[in-house]
Structure 1
Amino acid sequence: MAGSKITKDVFGTLPDGRNVERIVLRGEGGFEARIITHGAVIQALIAPDAKGGYDDVVLGHDAFAGYLAERKFLGATVGRYANRIARGQFSLDGETVQLPVNNGPNALHGGLDGFDRKLWAIAGIEEGAEPAVTLTYTSPHGEENYPGRLDVRLTYRVTGPAELSLMMEARTDRPTIVNLTNHSFFNLEGATSGTSILDHRLTVAAEHFLAIDPTAIPLPEPPRAVAGTPFDFRNPHAVGERIRENDRQLQSGRGYDHTYCLGRDGKLALAARLEAPRSGRIMELFTNQPGIQVYSGNYLDGTISGKGGKLIRQSDAMCLEPHIWPDAPNRPDFPSPRLDPGQVYRHHTVYRFAVRAP
């Protein structure tokens, strides 16, 4: 359709013959968000730079075969539980739930076959000033041993000239836990630029973070103050400025791989700001979630290739993942991930792009 802000095509095919579709949402200029139905993945995010150009700023693959071959969560929607649950175990109403463990001794990002590996259905496409696509997935009771059927509804919407909004809702038929996020890997110089994110300047609107053990489970202590530590991003710092300091927490995470503690009032607010020095791109991330995981790409090891055939290596990109805190089902002092029948889980995140003023 001439002038349409949405297009749809087939991006690939699953081994069972089902098609994986790609939906392109367009904003102003060359801004685009390309979404695929496998894993509800942000396959590409085309954002402006300070010189008037546009480039893709998220890691991923040019063809579907790359997503099918390797599970690296590139741009994916992860669930039922984003981040880690210690020993894959928690108690709910007096019953012990044992999840599959898939990250050392812990359960990570929904287990062995999480939402990032599912084919989501297209429930609706909206044209107009704010083009959008809504995807749905129903996780049956007992999937990955999680209790309760979970009906998930996710909407990607272009809500500004260069702004992508992500809204997720979930409902259940019996008590369960839920914690969803998007796992995009950002490099604001460009996904195929070959540059590190260590010189990106990061700001995080948090005064506390969760210290972790060597398996990335929060320690049995209250959140730590960022003041006086390499984790203080209340004012902008280059990601790599302090990443090699002799700090026990940097050792535990092999860099930054920590949850920052945000407000708990459920309102959309600025959580993080990332700026690339050469392109002048700026991304502001707003969320209603109580935490944001800052991950500096420490485990990217060059074993897979991404867009343009380039190997994906350590610090080629970073993640900013809004969600409930890790291991919260085992920590009554943390924000609760519990969802009961009749309640609605709501996650709202906005990625707003701008450029540095000349």
Structure 2
Amino acid sequence: MTLSTLSSAATLTSQPYGTTKNGQKVDLYTMTNKHGVSVSFISYGGVITQILTPDAKGKKDNIVLGFDNLHGYEVTDTEAGFHFGALIGRYANRIGGGKFTLDGKTYQLEKNNGPNTLHSAGLGYDKRVWQVTPLSQQGETVKASLKLTSPDGDQGFPGQLQVEVIYSLSDNNEFQIEYKAMTDQPTVVSLTNHSYFNLAGAKNSPYGVLDHILQVNANQILTTDANSLPTGEIASVKDTPFDFNQPKAISRDIRHNNTQLGYGFGYDQTWVLNPSKNKLNLAAKVIDPKSKRTLEVSTTEPSIQVYTANHLPGNIVGSEGVLYRQADAIALETQQYPDSPNQPKFPSTRLNPGDTYHSVTVFKFGVNP
């Protein structure tokens, strides 16, 4: 297949993207709906390389940070460790001390974030070539399945894990990520996607995302220590910089003299989502006041990590030669609580044989009048 022109229905097309250092072929897939909104991803890491959406005047721009070629993701991002657009597993976010105990046995993981493990460290799912199968190539919704087998002992985790992630784009401008996993022995699982969004366009503005308006459906956050690891305490956001129940500019409180903000060099917290009777819970909404693009995130997960790209060093050259700097983007990672395997009061992330891990997150694109 080759990339095709826009049709009256949503389409899924593909083309070669390159070859990894160890000789694995990588393909690029593009889903386009009838409104011209498109999501592109590659089989390497399930990386979302581009999302094109129109602004209020109909001008389309890419709203995610990334690279122009496979080398950027395989080499540059591996060295930098920022997981641009990628699928994260076996366990998203941090695990304290790089270890956990399950059924009386302690499992040691690689430490890559001070004393802790972050995003499963070294050779995570973002550094694997996934098996991609189109499920629907034309219609009101197009879908593709991404599959990966994670062997027993992979990254230090027990159990062989069979993972399937389904990407879909609808004519309602909804990009859905559905995660499924099954294991042959007890393990822990938390999967997410690590896209960096800038609704002004990835070519950027002088303000990065600091002028974006953010709303988060959460009355509580997980407090962290100096290494951004949850302490086990759940704190109210009331009268703190973390209260986004009413929409406000990210810039308003990001320089507030707050210990938690200091630890993260900006926003890098887990918000505990308010309970919902709906299967999909509205987690966050972002608005760019200039382009008037909007992004709504809904999920079945109990929390969302909001990260304002505080650690981008300013020397990473991304797509179209853009230099990525601190606060140039916002990551919205729906997930289980970080360090749950070591925190008995947190929701369990245990997966047993015969059970299926299942999670859904929807990103809905739009514009304000």
184-193 or 23-32, which moves further after superposition? 23-32
Deviation at 1:123, TM superposition (A): 3.1
In 1, are the aligned partners of 2:65 and 2:196 still within 8 Å (CA)?
yes
After superposition, the C-alpha distances for 1:322-349 in whole angstroms (9 at most, x for unaligned) are 0001100001111111000011101100
Aligned 1:81-92 pairs, distance under 5 A: 81-92=91-102
Deviation at 1:263, TM superposition (A): 4.5
Q: Does 1:184 align with 2:184?
A: no
Partner residue, 1:320? 332
Aligned counterpart in structure 2 of residue 56 of structure 1, from 53, 62, 65: 62
In 2, are the aligned partners of 1:38 and 1:118 still within 8 Å (CA)?
yes
Aligned counterpart in structure 1 of residue 320 of structure 2, from 308, 312, 333: 308
Aligned counterpart in structure 2 of residue 197 of structure 1, from 209, 231, 244: 209
Q: Does 1:354 align with 2:366?
A: yes
Distance in 1 (alpha carbons) for counterparts of 2:69 and 2:22: 18
Distance in 2 (alpha carbons) for counterparts of 1:300 and 1:310: 13
SS in 2 for 1:60: coil
TM-score, length of structure 2 as denominator length: 0.94
Distance in 2 (alpha carbons) for counterparts of 1:330 and 1:164: 33
In 1, are the aligned partners of 2:220 and 2:272 still within 8 Å (CA)?
yes
Distance in 2 (alpha carbons) for counterparts of 1:184 and 1:247: 26
Distance in 2 (alpha carbons) for counterparts of 1:310 and 1:321: 23
Distance in 2 (alpha carbons) for counterparts of 1:237 and 1:12: 42
In 2, are the aligned partners of 1:297 and 1:319 still within 8 Å (CA)?
yes
Distance in 1 (alpha carbons) for counterparts of 2:72 and 2:192: 21
Runs (4+) off by over 2 Å: 1-4, 263-267
Q: Which amino acid aligns with 1:133?
A: A
In 1, are the aligned partners of 2:31 and 2:39 still within 8 Å (CA)?
yes
In 1, are the aligned partners of 2:217 and 2:274 still within 8 Å (CA)?
no
Q: Does 1:65 align with 2:77?
A: no
Partner residue, 1:227? 238
Q: Does 1:151 align with 2:151?
A: no
Distance in 2 (alpha carbons) for counterparts of 1:169 and 1:313: 34
Deviation at 1:109, TM superposition (A): 0.5
Deviation at 1:230, TM superposition (A): 0.3
Q: Which amino acid aligns with 1:201?
A: I
Aligned counterpart in structure 1 of residue 285 of structure 2, from 251, 267, 273: 273
Distance in 2 (alpha carbons) for counterparts of 1:208 and 1:271: 13
In 2, are the aligned partners of 1:83 and 1:108 still within 8 Å (CA)?
yes
SS in 1 for 2:315: strand
After superposition, the C-alpha distances for 1:25-64 in whole angstroms (9 at most, x for unaligned) are 0112220000101001111111121111111100001111
For structure 2, the 5+ residue unaligned runs are none
Deviation at 1:248, TM superposition (A): 0.7
303-312 or 182-191, which moves further after superposition? 303-312
Residues 1:275 and 1:40: Cα distance change in structure 2 (over 3 Å)? same
SS in 2 for 1:219: strand
Q: Does 1:239 align with 2:245?
A: no
Deviation at 1:264, TM superposition (A): 6.2
In 2, are the aligned partners of 1:31 and 1:161 still within 8 Å (CA)?
no
Partner residue, 1:111? 121
Q: Does 1:341 align with 2:353?
A: yes
Partner residue, 2:53? 47
Q: Does 1:35 align with 2:41?
A: yes
SS in 2 for 1:329: helix
Distance in 1 (alpha carbons) for counterparts of 2:34 and 2:202: 21
Q: Does 1:75 align with 2:85?
A: yes
In 2, are the aligned partners of 1:28 and 1:161 still within 8 Å (CA)?
no
For structure 1, the 5+ residue unaligned runs are none
Q: Does 1:20 align with 2:26?
A: yes
Deviation at 1:125, TM superposition (A): 3.4
Q: Does 1:330 align with 2:362?
A: no
Partner residue, 2:266? 255
Distance in 1 (alpha carbons) for counterparts of 2:327 and 2:231: 25
After superposition, the C-alpha distances for 1:257-292 in whole angstroms (9 at most, x for unaligned) are 000001567921100000001100000000000100
SS in 2 for 1:210: strand
Deviation at 1:159, TM superposition (A): 2.5
In 1, are the aligned partners of 2:232 and 2:345 still within 8 Å (CA)?
no
Deviation at 1:16, TM superposition (A): 2.0
Distance in 2 (alpha carbons) for counterparts of 1:272 and 1:155: 22
Identity %: 42
SS in 2 for 1:251: helix
Q: Which amino acid aligns with 1:17?
A: G
Distance in 1 (alpha carbons) for counterparts of 2:232 and 2:180: 30
In 2, are the aligned partners of 1:273 and 1:282 still within 8 Å (CA)?
yes
In 1, are the aligned partners of 2:35 and 2:171 still within 8 Å (CA)?
no
After superposition, the C-alpha distances for 1:159-200 in whole angstroms (9 at most, x for unaligned) are 233210110100000000000000000000000123410000
Distance in 2 (alpha carbons) for counterparts of 1:184 and 1:330: 27
In 2, are the aligned partners of 1:91 and 1:329 still within 8 Å (CA)?
yes
